[in-house]
Structure 1
Amino acid sequence: MPKATANGIEIHYEEQGDPSAPAMLLIMGFGAQLTLWPDELVDELAGKGFRVIRYDNRDIGLSHKFDGVKAPGLVKMTVMGKLGLMPKVPYTLADMAADAVGLLDALGIAKAHIVGASMGGMIAQHVAAKYPDRCLSFTQVFSTTGNPRLPAAKKEALQALVTRPKSDEEEALVEHGIMLARTIGSPGYPSAEERLRDRTLTSVRRNYYPEGPTRHLSAIVADGDRSAMLREITVPTLVLHGEDDPLVPCEGGRDTAACIPGARLKTIPGWGHDLPLELVDELAGEIAAHAKGASAA
């Protein structure tokens, strides 16, 4: 299992494609392992001429865990945020962006196409804003700006995200994962039951670490509104978002595209907060075309 020391911690990563091809770094979201990037999507991107690298963020999957480091509760952070204050958090999204750049350093990659989904999109925003010399292009997938005036997640989606499984037994964890995937997934592209169950079981058996998402969430809340930072981004940007995303409403993608000069926005009806098999060809085509266009510019 390949691991690298990046930003002072151990990061687990996987890569596919020609090692001499342009690098494409995939950054996954809140509480999600690198395996949430479908193999089919990775295969498509590699087949389109990219060295595709996906990795486990800190505190999840097979990467470094911050055991015993407590994060402030969501209620406390929300109340303090409204007062213009913010308690100390274990780490920030900026720290996680430094992990991404540190992984590029460890792999000897000077520049890469950066693709981030959900919280990974927020991390990628920091990479594009603060390390533009390391970015060939930036693609954001169902993420947002942190603007507090934007529509919130649907109540049932947020509830599903923060609800803990009934127990740590494997079957309970799988059922909980399936429930979450169904709740936030694409109404126009529901996942086949057998595929969803198999992928969820694989994820549970690969790693189950419930403490990590708590610290991920504190990093998201502490990051606040990134609108001003996004206006400084000069990296060629593509924003992809589902028109039926119940967790991060499409307005988050629209707001991102409006903030970043020259960004292109592509929305897809029926798409929610997942990466359906039926959309792999379209998404891979959009990401690859944007990356190649940015390289040719």
Structure 2
Amino acid sequence: MRDQLILLPGWAFGPAALQPLYDALADLAPDLEVVIEPLPELVAKEAWLDELDQRLPHGSWLAGWSLGGMLASQLAARRVDTCRGLITIASNPCFRARPQWPEAMAPDIFDAFHEAFRLDPEETLKRFRSLCGRGGYDPRTLARQLQVSQSQLPAPVLDAGLQLLAELDGRGALHGYFGPQLHLFAANDALVPAAACDALRRWMPGIVTRLIPGASHALPLERPDEVAAAMVAFIKGAAA
């Protein structure tokens, strides 16, 4: 029976954002069944996890980029024995900083971004795409790729996703899931501080973390081959 890997995109992006990673995984591991699933299209943020739990098959690996990784972590902890393993990409246990987890976006910066989105969604999404590519080798090209792969969801759904980014604290979920975990971070990430990689390693010494040099938050688009190689090696290592 083939291993299955579910990929979840980040906030404001559709499955197309993970297509480069999908293609790289297909080349490296043709025996691995990879499926990209969209994030929920719900205004009620508290229903997102239930919707994913109902929709996504059990017995698979769960992986996600940014918000997708935070949701994958919550789902892995909920499923425990029916999740093969967890992989997050440029995903912080807490996206918005809090006293017990300062290695995240400052609350005033996040709150200002959230308010700006409510006032002018299109302009804020444009700024967000720029932030995703900042620190990468070719930020302008990344921004264009991100624009093409942006989801066309209504503003209330995107607002619910921002609320989840602000509220989710994945530390309990990560600690409560005992399967294999790989967490990939980007050294030049403008949205998830690189310091989160070391912080997570210190907090949970038994998991695997890796910081990819010279990469931006758009890690799965910018460095799909490198991300895919790390994921495949980890999945095969867990099966050995």
Same fold by TM-score, threshold 0.5 exceeded? yes
2:236 counterpart SS class = helix
Structure 2: distance between partners of 1:51 and 1:162 = 40
Q: What's the CA shift string for 1:16-52, capped at 9, x where partnerless?
A: xxxx631100112223222221x22101112213211
Asked if the contact 1:117/1:141 (under 8 Å) is kept, the reply is yes
Structure 2: distance between partners of 1:162 and 1:251 = 26
Asked if the contact 1:243/1:272 (under 8 Å) is kept, the reply is yes
Match of 2:5 among 20, 24, 37: 24
The corresponding residue for 1:134 is 82
Q: Which amino acid aligns with 1:250?
A: A
Unmatched segments (≥5 aa) in structure 2: none
The corresponding residue for 1:12 is none
The corresponding residue for 2:23 is 43
Aligned length: 233
The corresponding residue for 1:212 is 157
Deviation of the 1:183 alpha carbon:
2.3
Show the 5 A alignment for 1:223-262: 223=168, 225-260=169-204, 262=206
Q: Does 1:91 align with 2:72?
A: no
Q: What's the CA shift string for 1:223-243, capped at 9, x where partnerless?
A: 3x4433422221101110012
The corresponding residue for 1:200 is 147
- Larger RCO: 1 or 2 (CA < 8 Å, sep 6+): 2
Deviation of the 1:134 alpha carbon:
2.1
Q: TM-score, normalised by structure 1?
A: 0.67
1:163 counterpart SS class = helix
Q: Which amino acid aligns with 1:143?
A: S
Unmatched segments (≥5 aa) in structure 1: 1-19, 60-64, 67-89
Identity of aligned residues (%): 23
1:116/1:254 CA distance change after superposition, 3 Å: farther
Structure 1: distance between partners of 2:167 and 2:113 = 21
The corresponding residue for 1:124 is 72
Structure 1: distance between partners of 2:163 and 2:107 = 19
Larger Rg over CA atoms: 1
Asked if the contact 2:88/2:184 (under 8 Å) is kept, the reply is yes
The corresponding residue for 1:151 is 103
Over 6 Å off, 4+ runs: 154-157, 165-168
Q: What's the CA shift string for 1:123-167, capped at 9, x where partnerless?
A: 111122121222111111112222613134279974567634997
Structure 2: distance between partners of 1:202 and 1:113 = 23
Q: What's the CA shift string for 1:163-211, capped at 9, x where partnerless?
A: 349978xxxx4x7645422223241422454x643651463xx624211
Q: Which amino acid aligns with 2:6?
A: L
Q: What's the CA shift string for 1:60-81, capped at 9, x where partnerless?
A: xxxxx43xxxxxxxxxxxxxxx
Match of 1:104 among 51, 56, 75: 56
Q: CA RMSD in A?
A: 3.0
